[in-house]
Amino acid sequence: MEEVISEADRQEEKLQVFPMKMSRINTGKFSILILMAQTLAFICIIFKFHDSPLPPVKKYQRTHMIILSTWRSGSSFTGQLFSQHPDVFYLMEPVWHVWSKMHQNSVNLLHMAARDLVRSVFLCDMSVFEAYLPPEKFSSSFFQWETSRALCSPPVCNLFKRSDIIPQNHCKLLCPKNPFNITEKACKSYSHIVLKEVRFFDLKVLYPLLRDPSLNVKILHLVRDPRGVFHSREKTTSALSFDTKIVLGDIESQNSDADYEMIKQICESQVEMYRTVMTSNFSRLRSHYHMVRYEDIADDPIENARQMYQFANLNFTPKLKTWVHNITHGKGQGMSFVINSRDARNVSRAWRDHLPFKTVYRIQNICKEALKVFGYRTLKTETEQKNLSVNILLPPPKLSTGTNAPLT
C-alpha cells in the first residue's frame, strides 16, 4: 500500500514540476520575442531616418534675425559672417522679389508685403515665393542665391559639407538649378534663420513679427558713415537706379540732386529706426536689438563678430575666426556686390581719399543728425579729411539692454 502511495506521490510531483518547466520555457521565448521586436523596431527607425539625416528644429528653438541696414553699408559682408556659420540658414535680401514684382507701388505700401514675406521665410514657408517667382523655379531663383552657404550645402547641394566655408563663386558654379522645394526642408533643419534686408525704412513695420509668439525675432542694425555710403553708391549708381526710382519716384530719381536726396532718405530712416528703439514702450525691445557700426567691424572684425554671434546665440568657432581674419586682411581690390578678401579698414575709409571736400561738406549738412546720433566726427577742412590720423569715430551710442526674454 505504501509503495502504491509513493508512486502516486511521485506522479503528482512530476505533474507539479511540468508547469514550472513550461513556465520557464514560455518566459524565455517571450523574452526572445520582446528582444526581436525591439531590434526590428530599431532597424525600422534607422531605415526611416537614413534618408532624412536633418530632423526639423522645433519652432521655439529657432532664432530669427534680420540684419537691417541700407545699400552700400557693408551689409553684404556682415551677412556673410552669418551665412558661413553652419547653424544658419541665410538669405540675402529676399524682399528684393517684392520690390521687383510690385515696383509701381510706394515704399510704404511695399512694407506690408515685404513684412509678410519675411514672416513666411522665418516660418520656412517658401510657398510665399509663388507670387514672385516663375512657375519653373530652382534654389538658384532666389536673389543673390550664391551668397547663401545653406543653398550650397546639404540637403540642397551635396557637393559641399555644411561645415565648409563656401565662396560665392564656387557656389554659383557648382550648385545651380537644384529643386526649389528642397529649400523648405533645408530651412527647417537649421536653428537660426538670418535675413539681410536694406528695403525697410520704418522699424515699426516689423512690430507684428517681434510680437509673434511663433517667432523669436532679433534685429541687428548695421549703420555706416553716410559719407562712406555716398562714396560707395557713386560707384554703383546704375546698379542701384531701380531701387532709387522706387524710393524717390520716377521724376525725382532723374533729378541732378537724386544722389543727395537718396542719402537724405537713408540718413533720416536710419536715425528714425534707432530712435524708435530708444523711445519705444515696446517691452524688452532693446534686448532684441543690437546696433553696430561698419567702421567698428572693419577696425576690429574678430571682436565685433564675437559680439554679433553672442547677440544671435551662436558659437564663434576657430574655423570661423580664421576665415573672418583672412577675409578682412586681404590685399584684393574687390568687386561691387562680391565678397572676397580685402583690407576692411582701407575699404571703410576710402571715401576720405576720393570724395571732394565740397561733397563731404554737403553730406555733413544733409546728414548732420545721423553723424551725431551714430558717433561720427564732422570734418571742417579738406586737410582734416585727408589726414587719416584724425579719427572720425567717436564713442558709439550706448544701449541699455535687458535679458533675452521673449518680447511681450
Q: What is the DSSP string of 154-217?
A: TTT-TTS-TTS---HHHHHHHS-S-BTTHHHHHHHT-SEEEEEES----GGGGHHHHH-TT--E
Spatial CB neighbours of 403, under 8 Å, sequence gap ≥ 6: 284, 287
Distance between CA atoms of residues 31 and 283, nearest Å: 58
What is the pLDDT at residue 400? 45
> How far is the C-alpha of 233 from the C-alpha of 138, rounded, in Å?
31
- Could you give the 3-state DSSP secondary structure of residue 293? strand
* Full DSSP string of 34-52: HHHHHHHHHHHHHHHHHT-
What pLDDT shows up at residue 340? 57
Q: How high is the pLDDT of residue 405?
A: 43
pLDDT of residue 396: 82
Instruction: Quote the crossing angle between the two packed helices 226-234 and 237-248, to the nearest 10°.
Output: 120
pLDDT of residue 126: 98
Place of cell 557656389: 171
CA distance between the termini of the chain: 94
Cell of 24: 520557464
Question: What integer pLDDT is reported at residue 35 of this predicted model?
Answer: 43
pLDDT tens, the chain, 408 aa long: 444 344 444 444 444 444 444 444 444 444 444 444 444 443 343 333 334 455 555 555 799 999 999 999 999 999 999 999 999 999 999 999 999 999 999 999 999 999 999 999 999 999 999 999 999 999 999 999 999 999 999 999 999 999 999 999 999 999 999 999 999 999 999 999 999 999 999 999 999 999 998 899 999 999 999 999 999 999 888 889 999 999 998 877 778 899 999 999 999 999 999 999 999 888 768 889 999 999 999 999 999 999 999 999 999 999 999 999 999 988 765 555 455 566 888 999 999 999 999 999 999 999 999 999 999 999 999 999 999 999 999 998 776 444 444 444
Please provide the DSSP assignment of 84-145 as one string. TSTTEEEEE-TTHHHHHHSTTS-HHHHHHHHHHHHHHHHTT-GGGGGGTS-SS-BGGGSTTG
CATH class of 68-386: alpha beta
pLDDT for 144: 96
Kindly report the pTM of this predicted structure. 0.82
Task: Tell me the one-letter amino acid at 324.
Answer: V
Write down the pLDDT at residue 24.
46
Helices (DSSP H) in 249-395: which residue ranges? 250-253, 258-279, 294-299, 301-312, 318-328, 344-348, 351-354, 357-366, 368-374, 382-386
